[in-house]
Structure 1
Amino acid sequence: MRVLLSTYGTRGDVEPLVALAVRLQELGVEVRMCAPPDEEFAQRLAGLGVQLVPVGPPVRALMRGSALPSAADLSRYRTEMVDTQFDVFPAAADGCDALVAAGLAQIAARSVAEAAGIRYVYASYAAIQLPSPHHAPPPRPGWPEPETADNRTLWELDAHNVNAEFAETLNGHRAAIGLPPVDNVRDHVFTDQPWLAADPVLGPWRETPGLDVVQTGAWNLPDERPLPAELVAFLDAGAPPVYVGFGSMRPSRDIAAMTVEAIRALGHRVLVSRGWADLDLVDGLDDCLAIGEVNHQRLFGRVAAVVHHGGAGTTVTAARAGAPQVVVPLRLSDTQYWAGRVADLGIGAAVDGPTQTVDSLCVAFKMVLAPETRTRAEALGGKIRTDGAAVAASLLLDRLR
């Protein structure tokens, strides 16, 4: 049995499918993955025996700028990606029994699966990505922000915008392979039974008519890598530090620098993760250490708090470790959603980066570093599931059988 997995994005988009791939392999399934051609993804998949089918340009190169591309450039990139998917996906899906696609950017996936006569599953990593009257759509860069607060209207406008962006291109390709047109591209991609790869305590789905969502739990793997010796020495040398990292995102240098200043002003040591932005906020003092890629599962259990951008993977890893969180969302995808969930659960705070000062950040950190916040975070950490990828792999295999 063979399964094709597909996504496009940063590490936060790729790693959940890596976890699913490993769990499928344990069940005897051969796995291929369509993903960006970045070297780190290629090495990661090669080390696990998963065939990488590169799709699109390297993501790290696209993330180098300090600002998003223009609306016109984003539209062009999106159209080119659909064309590329229709070029690459059919051969990648050859001999496969199912195609699992993660993210709205996978516009061609269902059509290719339909033409090949194989099962198609759409997966989301956050409830906010799926249509529901209980929440508004996530921000979609390059598209106008509607002037209404009604969630149903917002989702209708969202479907209209997705159609305006993709319908002509998608239906042109569908006609070329003998498939009928679709009139709602977004819902066509999502299906009426999408999977939600998010923890049901941290990011629950609220029942919504018309969608039979299957929530499996977050897809991740245990990380057994030891921490680097320099990092262990720093951790052992004093009280638990506060971790600051923004993953593949590029935060404002001002907010990053103010964050470190506020932490120090409260008498705490700081760990700065360089990330894809290559943050350089260390001034040589022994209360601050810059680190590269390390095992967050081990590290977050040893820090006083985790400051991050609101990515799904970092949020669930910090929550499982029982670490209080300060989320600085960057108005992309699901980051504001996870910031809100952290605040609502009382396990941390959400801050709006552009309006912050050192003093206002100090107020947020005082609340997050209070003993009662740590108590709530540790209590919730014990409820976070760790079997989401295994659940999803078993479910997929059962349906294929």
Structure 2
Amino acid sequence: MRVVVTGFDSRGGVEPLVALAVRLRERGAEVTVCLPPDEEFERRLTGAGVRMVPFGAPVRPLATKPGPPDLPRRAAEVIAGQREVLGKLEADVLVATGVMPACAGARTIAEELGARYVYATFQQLTLPSPDHPPIAYPGRPFPENADVEQLWDWDRDSINLLFRDVVNADRRGQGLPPIDDVRDYVITPQPLLAADPVLSPWREAELRVVQTGAWLLPDERPLPADLLAFLDAGEPPVYVGFGSMPMHDTDPEQVVEAVRRHGRRMVLSRGWADLTSVGDDCFVTGEANHQALFRRCAAVVHHGGAGTTVTAAWSGAPQVVVPQGADQPYWAQRVAELGIGAAHAGPVPTAESLSAALGIALDRADQAKSVAATISTDGAARAAKMLAP
């Protein structure tokens, strides 16, 4: 069986695809992963022995560029880049993840290839439900005093306003009929929710969602020797990293000061914001094996991406989530509700605000360890069995 997995996402959206590809390969499937050509993406997939075929332009320059994005133009560029590559592949199953227009473009290509199309998401806020609101799109703030049902109507209308013309232009170029509702076309009646059921339980709604659990894979990559030496030289540090977030308004020294107020050393991840600092108590690192690193940390401070949240929960380290947008406020709320850490108020941490949140998280270490034992680790294997029975 030939399975093609495509996504347009940040670095955190790549790790689950590595897990899925490895589990599919174990079932005898021929797997190809199509992603933008960011160096980090290619390095991670190649290191795991997964075939990657790049398409389009890198994500990082777009994600870190200040100012509001031109979403329809970007969507058209992504769809065109996908078509150039995906349309030349052979597939029995095409799995799409990431942003809505990219998934719409992928489904159109699946139609042309005669492949089974499957939509998967790592968070449930793109799936209509009476239990939670959707994510607002830039330039389309929610109407005031709207209830959840009205917000989901607004979400549908926003997606169609931003992306329907782009999607239908691509379809028209292939001689295919237009679609009326981009969201329904992308999600399908039975999407996969690759999120842990303890961290993010799905409650029954109109959609027949299949919650597989998070797509996790034991990461055997060793930590760099100099980072290991730092970890071995003292008490467990606090990890601080904001992944693919640009963090334009964040002063790294405010973050460092917040950790120092607790008498803790820290590991600071540069991330896409290129954060840095100096001092014997602060180790600045590039990309590293989060599974191995988080298990040696007293706490994990991060932006609240789905992948970082579940990895920190799995490690047993308490968390501070500093949400920047999209689904991240949801994960911050869940971390606080489960008692495995704290939700920082707002996207810009100061020494005072982050120190307060870190104090709460450090006091919740026992609960974090308890919840870690409940995290499901077979989500990728479950999904692979469904895709390649």
TM-score > 0.5, shorter chain as reference? yes
Letter in 2 for 1:270: M
Q: Is the 8 A contact 1:324 1:347 kept in 2?
A: yes
| TM-score (normalised: structure 1) | 0.91
Q: Is the 8 A contact 1:219 1:389 kept in 2?
A: yes
3-state SS of paired residue (2:294): helix
Of residues 350, 362, 387, the one that matches 2:378 is: 387
Query: Any idea what the Cα deviations from partners look like across 1:106-130, whole Å, max 9, x if unmatched?
Result: 2211122123222110000011221
Partner of residue 365, structure 1:
358
Q: Is the 8 A contact 2:322 2:343 kept in 1?
A: yes
Of residues 173, 194, 202, the one that matches 1:197 is: 194
Alignment pair present for 1:289 and 2:283? yes
Quote the Cα distance in structure 2 between the aligned partners of 1:77 and 1:383: 39
Quote the Cα distance in structure 2 between the aligned partners of 1:244 and 1:41: 21
Residue 172 of structure 1 deviates from its aligned partner by 3.1
Alignment pair present for 1:161 and 2:158? yes
Q: Is the 8 A contact 1:255 1:353 kept in 2?
A: no
Deviates more, 1:157-166 or 1:172-181: 172-181
Partner of residue 272, structure 1:
268
Taking structure 1 as reference, are residues 255 and 346 closer, same or farther at Cα in structure 2, changes over 3 Å only? farther
Quote the Cα distance in structure 2 between the aligned partners of 1:47 and 1:245: 22
Partner of residue 325, structure 1:
319
Query: Any idea what the Cα deviations from partners look like across 1:133-178, whole Å, max 9, x if unmatched?
Result: 1111123234344323411111111111111122222223334434
Written as runs of structure 1 = structure 2, the 5 A alignment for 1:88-127 is 88-92=85-89, 94=90, 96-103=91-98, 104=100, 105-127=102-124
Taking structure 1 as reference, are residues 98 and 147 closer, same or farther at Cα in structure 2, changes over 3 Å only? same
Partner of residue 387, structure 2:
396
Quote the Cα distance in structure 2 between the aligned partners of 1:360 and 1:185: 40
3-state SS of paired residue (2:275): coil
3-state SS of paired residue (1:254): coil
Alignment pair present for 1:177 and 2:174? yes
Partner of residue 335, structure 1:
328
Moved beyond 6 Å, runs of 4+: none
Q: Is the 8 A contact 1:307 1:326 kept in 2?
A: yes
Query: Any idea what the Cα deviations from partners look like across 1:338-376, whole Å, max 9, x if unmatched?
Result: 111101111111113456542232222221111xx1111
Q: Is the 8 A contact 1:122 1:190 kept in 2?
A: yes
Q: Is the 8 A contact 1:329 1:339 kept in 2?
A: yes
Query: Any idea what the Cα deviations from partners look like across 1:173-227, whole Å, max 9, x if unmatched?
Result: 3344343322111111000100001111111111112x00001111121111222
Quote the Cα distance in structure 2 between the aligned partners of 1:227 and 1:188: 42
Taking structure 1 as reference, are residues 298 and 380 closer, same or farther at Cα in structure 2, changes over 3 Å only? same
3-state SS of paired residue (2:17): helix
Of residues 216, 222, 229, the one that matches 1:226 is: 222
Of residues 305, 308, 313, the one that matches 2:307 is: 313
Letter in 1 for 2:260: R
Alignment pair present for 1:257 and 2:256? no
CA RMSD of aligned residues (A): 1.8
Query: Any idea what the Cα deviations from partners look like across 1:308-351, whole Å, max 9, x if unmatched?
Result: 000111111110111000000111x2111111110111111111
Partner of residue 147, structure 1:
144
Partner of residue 75, structure 1:
72
Quote the Cα distance in structure 2 between the aligned partners of 1:280 and 1:43: 23
Mark the runs of 5 or more structure 2 residues left unpaired by the alignment: none
Quote the Cα distance in structure 1 between the aligned partners of 2:232 and 2:383: 39
Letter in 1 for 2:318: P
Written as runs of structure 1 = structure 2, the 5 A alignment for 1:17-36 is 17-36=17-36
Quote the Cα distance in structure 2 between the aligned partners of 1:237 and 1:31: 42
Residue 31 of structure 1 deviates from its aligned partner by 1.0
Residue 388 of structure 1 deviates from its aligned partner by 0.9
Taking structure 1 as reference, are residues 375 and 187 closer, same or farther at Cα in structure 2, changes over 3 Å only? same
Partner of residue 351, structure 1:
344
Q: Is the 8 A contact 1:328 1:339 kept in 2?
A: yes
Deviates more, 1:144-153 or 1:8-17: 144-153
Letter in 2 for 1:325: Q
Query: Any idea what the Cα deviations from partners look like across 1:225-249, whole Å, max 9, x if unmatched?
Result: 2222222222222221111011121
| TM-score (normalised: structure 2) | 0.94
Partner of residue 237, structure 1:
233
Taking structure 1 as reference, are residues 268 and 253 closer, same or farther at Cα in structure 2, changes over 3 Å only? farther
Quote the Cα distance in structure 2 between the aligned partners of 1:180 and 1:75: 20
Q: Is the 8 A contact 2:11 2:40 kept in 1?
A: no
Quote the Cα distance in structure 2 between the aligned partners of 1:268 and 1:47: 33
Quote the Cα distance in structure 2 between the aligned partners of 1:75 and 1:168: 9
Letter in 2 for 1:276: W
Alignment pair present for 1:247 and 2:238? no
Mark the runs of 5 or more structure 1 residues left unpaired by the alignment: none
Letter in 1 for 2:213: G
Deviates more, 1:229-238 or 1:171-180: 171-180
Residue 78 of structure 1 deviates from its aligned partner by 1.5
Q: Is the 8 A contact 1:74 1:142 kept in 2?
A: no
Letter in 1 for 2:199: L
3-state SS of paired residue (2:157): helix
Percentage of matched positions with identical amino acids = 56
Alignment pair present for 1:303 and 2:294? no
Taking structure 1 as reference, are residues 363 and 213 closer, same or farther at Cα in structure 2, changes over 3 Å only? same
Letter in 2 for 1:349: A
Residue 49 of structure 1 deviates from its aligned partner by 4.3
